[in-house]
Amino acid sequence: MIEVRALHKWYGDFHAVDDLSFEVARGEVVGFLGPNGAGKSTTLRIVAGFLGASSGDVLIDGLSVVDDPIEARARIGYMPESCPLYVEMRVVEYLRFRAELKGVPRATRKAAVERAMGDAGLDGYEATIIGQLSKGYRQRVGIADALVASPPLLLLDEPTAGLDPNQIREVRDLVKRLSASHTILVSTHILSEVEATCTRGVVIARGKLVASGSLDELRALRRADTVRLRLRGDTRAARAELEGLDGVERVEPEPHAIEGQERLRLVLTDADRCDEIVERAVKRLAELEVGVLEVVPLGSLEDVFSKLTEGDTPTASTEATPRARGREVRTRQRTKRAP
């Protein structure tokens, strides 16, 4: 459905998108991940046909956004990042205008607008002036706009940015519902969002592809290689004991404010054995009568994410071509920073 091929975008001297290639197959829900400023919005704008690329190609359903812009754009429902709307219009007026603009025939326009409003959860807000809507409802209008012409492909740029937790959940539920009938590319800088809604993730940082793969494969990346413990009691003995434990590479104290307690970081030699090592460690600590108050594996997806996207330059590329391929996880290994 989307093919991004060797995309580059320069803003003057700034290389915003650097040799980015990935594909989104029909029916997939792909999370487009990256920290702020990674080039997500720039990439989506190029895919949506708002910006031209410096080089490279984007195909929508086999149509180039450069050579066949109108046909390509007709297949896309795009919600820009800040969700800009005409604030002086009423919701229904705006959506009718958008439907007409997108070529929905007059006969079906009214029904299309009603359906989009229903899908986006805007029932009852037909006559509200957009300028008077809250941020969450404006976001819904943006989503309804993306849906109104029933495009096969949805591009949602940070649809949950700036929403409260309830609204975030609603948007996630909506994306899930829409995934039954649409191919979706949704950008975000929050990993849990991808876990909640997507089947696959594409991670970029500084305009470059960092990793891409199915959700399970991304999850596999998050095996914990560090565990944080909060202990009470004879922590000196506990430390000595833990240092001698099989599978523990080293133990590092963490700053901790509460008297009589200590926080330690266990760096493991093998992340695959994390569960087993933790189990043994806790057993030994119990034998020493050291209170274990907290065990936190520090391999959450968030950590993987920051590890993947942190500032240091990649030392080795595991694959020569940056072309994204189906279900394969490709990770450009980065120097592991000393935790």
Q: Is 122 in the site for other proteins (CB under 8 A)?
A: no
Angle ∠(258,260,262) on CA atoms, nearest 5? 70
- Please identify, using beta-carbon distances, which residue of 102 and 330 lies nearer to other proteins: 102
Query: Which residues, 27 to 66, sit near other proteins by CB under 8 A?
Result: 45, 48-52
Backbone angles phi, psi at 59, to 5 degrees: -115, 130
Kindly state the DSSP code that residue 189 receives in the 8-state scheme: S
Regarding 25 and contact with other proteins (CB under 8 A), the answer is no
B/e letters for 219-243, b = 16+ CB within 10 Å, e = fewer, are: eebbbbbbbbbbbebbbeebbebbe
271 binds other proteins (CB under 8 A): no
For 19, other C-beta atoms within 10 Å of its C-beta total 16
Binder among 6, 63, 74, 288 for other proteins (CB under 8 A): 74
Q: Could you say whether residue 82 binds other proteins (CB under 8 A)?
A: yes
- Residue closer to other proteins, measured from CB, 88 or 123: 88
Is 89 a binding residue for other proteins by CB under 8 A? The answer is: yes
46: which residues sit within 8 A by CB, 6+ positions away?
7, 9, 17, 52, 53, 58, 65
For the bound state, the minimum distance from the C-beta of residue 221 to other proteins, rounded and expressed in Å, comes to 33
Q: Does residue 24 sit in helix, strand or coil? A: strand
Query: Contact between 121 and other proteins (CB under 8 A)?
Result: no
d(CA 117, CA 148): 8
Q: Which of 18, 61, 93, 217 binds other proteins (CB under 8 A)?
A: 93
- Does position 292 interact with other proteins (CB under 8 A)? The reply is no
Using rule CB under 8 A, residue 245 touches other proteins: no
DSSP string over 250-274: EEEEE---STTEEEEEEEES-GGGH
- Ramachandran category for residue 293: left, alpha or beta (phi over 0 → left; psi -120 to 50 → alpha): alpha
Measured in whole angstroms, the distance separating CA 110 from the mean position of its chain's CA atoms is: 34
Q: Does the footprint of other proteins cover residue 175 (CB under 8 A)?
A: no
Is the CB of 145 or the CB of 241 nearer to other proteins?
Answer: 145
CB-based contacts of 193: which residues, under 8 Å, 6+ apart? Answer: 31, 160, 168, 172, 186
Position 112 contacts other proteins (CB under 8 A):
no
Q: Tell which one of 1, 4, 34, 102 touches other proteins (CB under 8 A).
A: 102
- Asked whether position 10 contacts other proteins by CB under 8 A, the answer is no
- Contacts with other proteins: how many residues (CB under 8 A)? 28
Give 87 or 237: the residue with its C-beta nearer to other proteins. 87
> Which spans of this chain sit near other proteins (rule: CB under 8 A)?
45, 48-52, 70-71, 73-74, 76, 78, 80, 82, 84-89, 93, 97-98, 100-103, 145
